[in-house]
């Protein structure tokens, strides 16, 4: 199993495997054609309330990660996450986000949860 995290704005690569957008909102200025996505999994994105509270403040990241993991226990989110786990068992999966600072985004948290689940 290989889980990658990247920016949706970066050009697609054959090494990406299955490309999944994990943001709730469509990335600004990006056409669906240029995104070259296999799936858009809005259900695993942080809630609007959590996203607004976090506001990509590095000082809040640890608390954000804990709250986000709690949100992922919601049945709808858990089912969507399970689809990503299933895809990762078949081949490489790239979790894509529009966030500029990947290390402070929700995508690596999703990747960690998927890796823990396997």
Query: Exposure of 9 by Cβ count < 10 A (0-12 exposed, 13-18 middle, 19+ buried)?
Result: middle
User: Is the Cβ–Cβ distance between 4 and 93 less than 8 Å?
Assistant: yes
pLDDT tens-place string over residues 92-114: 999 999 999 999 999 999 999 99
Average pLDDT over residues 17-21: 96
Average pLDDT of the chain, as a whole number: 94
Q: Name the residue range of residue 48's domain.
A: 3-117
Contact 76, 32 (CB under 8 A): no
Q: With the C-alpha atoms ordered 51, 55, 58, 60, is the resulting torsion angle positive or negative?
A: negative
The pTM of the full predicted model, rounded to 2 decimals, is 0.93
Please state the domain count of the chain.
Answer: 1
Predicted confidence (pLDDT) at residue 118 exceeds the cutoff of 70: no
DSSP letter assigned to residue 100: S
User: Which residues are paired to 91 by β-bridges?
Assistant: none
Higher pLDDT residue, 43 or 118? 43
């Amino acid at each position: 199993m290989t889980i990658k995290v990247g920016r949706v704005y970066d050009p697609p690569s054959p090494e990406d495997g299955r490309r999944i957008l994990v943001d709730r909102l469509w990335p600004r200025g990006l056409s669906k054609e240029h995104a070259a996505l296999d799936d858009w999994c809005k259900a695993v994105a942080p809630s609007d309330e959590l996203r607004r509270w976090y506001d990509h403040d590095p000082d809040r990241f640890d608390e954000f990660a804990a709250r986000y993991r709690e949100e992922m226990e919601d049945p709808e989110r858990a089912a969507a996450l399970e689809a990503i786990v299933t895809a990762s068992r078949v081949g490489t999966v790239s979790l894509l986000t529009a966030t500029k600072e990947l290390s402070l985004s929700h995508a690596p948290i999703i990747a960690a949860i998927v890796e823990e689940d396997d």
